């Protein structure tokens, strides 16, 4: 059976297609057949391997990887020779909508793996060029893969970003699985974890493009806080303590974070929000409010106390507690 290698990176412009095309040609020989599958809707691997005067007819032929994925044709019918011992399952214009159609299919994450089974033994290597995202097309490739190649720019910050990203994913997944194990629940593998993350992002109204950015790529203070809220949602704790989560945020970032907190509120989860600014209470309506001075609670109340704090500030609470004001 041929070895299946996925070439993936959620960042665009790093050389995935160049790697796929050149590696296919380099590996090919009379006794070694190579199959390239172009899973990227942009179709650059297809245009790199197919002569320009044939591209139009090929893409409108109804025999592309799209038709094979959605079950209209066998994968073998979409494959065509493009060089000596190099074969291609081309991208097509409809591939951009494949994720929508795959979303309704049973076993959608393993669709590519299933259609590959009848033909994998015909090739020494199957190389899959993927889009610059972590959507269903890339997920299908990863499920089918024997190994993954991650092309990246040869510079310090690209390596640092990759290391940090992989480290964050590993830490959050490890923490989540520890919680699930303690609850007697099944631990999640990488594919199940990715599916869970996307579900939580949808609840928090975070665009999936958030996952495709390098960790060093212009994250604002609000986005960093939103990432913390996302991690909290993934871990699904029974008690959440948010210590000065509004510190250093402008009003728009504060609203984003507050919306995330509100989305996670439920009767089964307690949240303790610690803040120095009553402005946060404009966006997170509390069930109970406690005012602390010098390390002890001096006033408690319901949401009316929060409104009073918004109107009068905190000095009156300090005065009532007969505590000196720290300057």
Q: What is the mean pLDDT of residues 279-296?
A: 80
Mean pLDDT of the chain: 81
**Residue 314 tokens, joined:** 């905190």
State the distance between the two ends of the chain, measured CA to CA, in whole angstroms.
74
pLDDT-based confidence at 225, cuts 50/70/90?
confident
Q: Would you state the pLDDT for residue 241?
A: 86
Alpha carbons 200 and 234: distance in angstroms, whole number = 7
pTM of the model: 0.54
Q: pLDDT (tens digit, 9 = 90+) per residue, 121-152?
A: 999 999 999 988 777 888 888 888 888 888 87
Q: Would you state the pLDDT for residue 325?
A: 46
Strand, helix or coil for residue 139: helix
pLDDT-based confidence at 162, cuts 50/70/90?
low
Q: pLDDT (tens digit, 9 = 90+) per residue, 63-96?
A: 899 999 988 999 999 999 999 999 999 998 888 8
Q: Would you state the pLDDT for residue 22?
A: 94
Q: Would you state the pLDDT for residue 327?
A: 44
Q: What number of H helices and E strands is found in the chain?
A: 14, 10
**Domains of the chain as residue ranges with CATH:** 3-149 (3.40.50.300), 156-285 (3.40.50.300)
Q: pLDDT (tens digit, 9 = 90+) per residue, 105-127?
A: 777 878 999 999 999 999 999 99
Distant-in-sequence, close-in-space partners of 181: CB < 8 Å, separation ≥ 6: 187
In sequence order, the β-bridge partners of residue 162 are none
Number of Cβ within 10 Å of residue 42's Cβ equals: 16
């Amino acid at each position: 059976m041929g070895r299946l290698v996925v070439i993936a990176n959620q960042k665009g412009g790093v050389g995935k297609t160049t790697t796929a095309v050149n590696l296919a040609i380099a590996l090919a020989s009379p006794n070694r057949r190579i199959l390239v599958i172009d899973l990227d809707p942009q179709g650059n691997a297809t245009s790199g391997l197919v002569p320009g005067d044939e591209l139009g007819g090929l893409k409108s032929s109804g025999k592309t990887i799209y038709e094979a994925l959605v079950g209209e044709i066998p994968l073998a019918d979409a494959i065509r020779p493009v060089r000596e011992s190099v074969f291609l399952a081309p991208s097509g214009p409809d591939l951009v909508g494949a994720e929508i159609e795959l979303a309704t299919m049973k076993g959608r994450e393993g669709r590519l793996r299933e259609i590959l089974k009848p033909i994998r033994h015909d090739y020494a290597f199957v190389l899959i060029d993927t889009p610059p995202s972590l959507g269903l097309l890339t997920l299908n490739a990863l499920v089918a893969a024997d190994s993954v190649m991650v092309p990246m720019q040869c510079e310090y910050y690209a390596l640092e970003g990759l290391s940090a990203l992989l480290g964050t994913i590993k830490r959050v997944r490890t923490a989540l699985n520890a919680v699930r194990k303690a609850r007697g629940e099944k631990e999640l593998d990488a594919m199940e974890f990715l599916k869970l993350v996307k579900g939580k992002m949808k609840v928090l109204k975070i665009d999936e493009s958030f996952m495709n950015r390098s960790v060093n790529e212009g994250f604002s203070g609000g986005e960093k806080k939103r990432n913390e809220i996302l991690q909290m949602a993934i871990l699904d704790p029974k008690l959440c303590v948010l210590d000065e989560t509004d510190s250093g945020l402008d009003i728009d970032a504060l609203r984003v974070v507050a919306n995330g907190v509100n989305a996670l509120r439920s009767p089964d989860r307690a949240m303790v929000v610690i803040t120095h600014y009553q402005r946060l209470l404009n966006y997170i309506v509390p069930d109970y409010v406690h005012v602390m001075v010098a390390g002890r609670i001096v006033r408690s109340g319901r949401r009316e106390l929060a409104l009073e704090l918004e109107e009068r500030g905190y000095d009156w609470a300090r005065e009532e507690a007969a505590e000196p004001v720290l300057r």
